[in-house]
Structure 1
Amino acid sequence: MSFSLRRAGAADAPAVCALFHKSFTATFGHLYPPQELAGFLAGCPVERFRAECTDPEFAVMLGEAADGTPLGYCTLGPYDLQGHIPELLEGRRWWVLRQLYLDEPAKGSGLADALMQWAVSEARARQVQDLYLTVWIENHRARRFYERHGFHEVGKYPYVVGNTVDDDRILRLTL
């Protein structure tokens, strides 16, 4: 499968939002009661993605098929991890890989690797010293992917969806 990458802008927010909802539901939907999942997704409206696609504190990269069909995306930006990592920030610039989601047909295409390479390059270009992310402890495929790219566990994070609290791990890549 061929794909290309480009910066997402305000006009791409509906596609990014749809990718998030579809991929999150496909990967994690079985973990939550339907009403909790619906409430969580309702809290992730297109306006949030539009803001992230246009805010200079964020960077969003979109992967597309040759015909322009959105296949996946990656978002870098601020996220509150303080209190979950004791050594966080002592004089270091850091950023969070907030999301890296692919549509099911794009998995195994190399798009995830391309998005990760972009994320690391973008972080370095912004003079970030540490890149963090959170991953559900049972998402073994994602965890192997991140570890293959040099991330290692540095803490725990409670990821809340409705009344469900997932056991996530915080991973860090020192740049």
Structure 2
Amino acid sequence: MNDREATPADAAAIDALFRESFAATFAHLYAPEDLASFFAGFTVAGWTGELASPDFAFRVIEDGEGLAGYCKLGPTSLPVTPEGPAIELRQLYLRDRAKGSGAAQTLMGWALATARARGAAELWLSVYIDNHRARRFYQRYGFEDRGPYAFMVGNHADEDRLMRLAL
């Protein structure tokens, strides 16, 4: 696997991976109209804008079949009160074929190094309460549970957990 900085040219591939991965993991939880409403908030143009913005940082990981995963950092948007300069791990998504390959660790290593390089003192994220694999992954890096968060998918409120890592 090869990882690299993402560029605006990656927007369509990131959008496709995001939709595939999110649906594979969570689609069974939602009414089709809620999932469609949620996905409508993500467009290739939106991804392109974020990829071109200095406020965001993206890393992709590729294998012989193409894009296998990505990680996105951005300004804190969660309902948290940081104790110092903070950044948010907005997304870390992998295709099924990349799970267990070390891709997640590669992307997390990049996220931690990038957050520190940008002067962040803490890194925040939210994770679905029943996504036990992801929660264990983040806990191994020292993320601490900081309470509940209602993550909206259309009109459906999921219970997520806010997690914080002091850098």
The two structures have a TM-score, normalised by structure 2, of: 0.97
Q: Note if contact 2:149-2:160 (Cα within 8 Å) is conserved in structure 1.
A: yes
Match of 2:71 among 59, 68, 74: 74
Identify which of 51, 57, 64 aligns with 1:59: 57
How far the C-alpha of 1:99 sits from its partner, in A, is 0.1
Instruction: Tell me the residue number matched to 1:107.
Output: 99
Counterpart selection for 1:31 from 29, 32, 36: 29
Whether 2:139 is the aligned partner of 1:147: answer yes
Equivalent-residue separation in structure 2 for 1:48 and 1:140 (angstroms): 30
Q: Write the distance in 2 (CA, Å) between the matches of 1:105 and 1:76.
A: 23
* Aligned-residue CA RMSD (Å): 1.1
Q: Map of 1:82-161 to 2, 5 A cutoff? A: 82=79, 85=80, 88-90=81-83, 92-161=84-153
SS for the counterpart of 1:166 is strand
Runs of 4+ in 1 over 4 A off after TM superposition: none
SS state of the match for residue 25, structure 2?
A: helix
In structure 2, C-alpha distance between the alignment counterparts of 1:155 and 1:57, rounded to whole Å: 26
Q: How far did residue 81 of structure 1 move?
A: 2.1
The CA distance in 2 between the partners of 1:164 and 1:137, in whole Å, is 14
Deviation (angstroms), 1:127: 1.0
Give the residue type in structure 2 aligned to 1:164. Answer: H
Alpha-carbon separation, structure 2, partners of 1:73 and 1:35: 26
Q: Distance in 1 between matches of 2:82 and 2:76?
A: 13
- Note the C-alpha offset of 1:168: 0.4
- SS at the partner of 2:119? coil
Alpha-carbon distance between aligned partners in 2 of 1:149 and 1:46, rounded to the nearest angstrom: 31
User: How many aligned residue pairs are there?
Assistant: 167
Residue number in structure 2 paired with 1:19:
17
Deviation at 1:42, TM superposition (A): 1.7
Deviations 1:82-136, CA, capped at 9 Å, x for gaps: 3xx3xx234x100000000000110000000000000000001111000000001
Gaps of 5+ in 2: none
> Which residue number in structure 1 is paired with residue 41 of structure 2?
43
Shift of 1:79: 3.4
- 5+ residue gaps, structure 1, are none
Moved more, 33-42 or 142-151: 33-42
Q: Per the alignment, in what secondary structure is the counterpart of residue 116 of structure 2?
A: helix
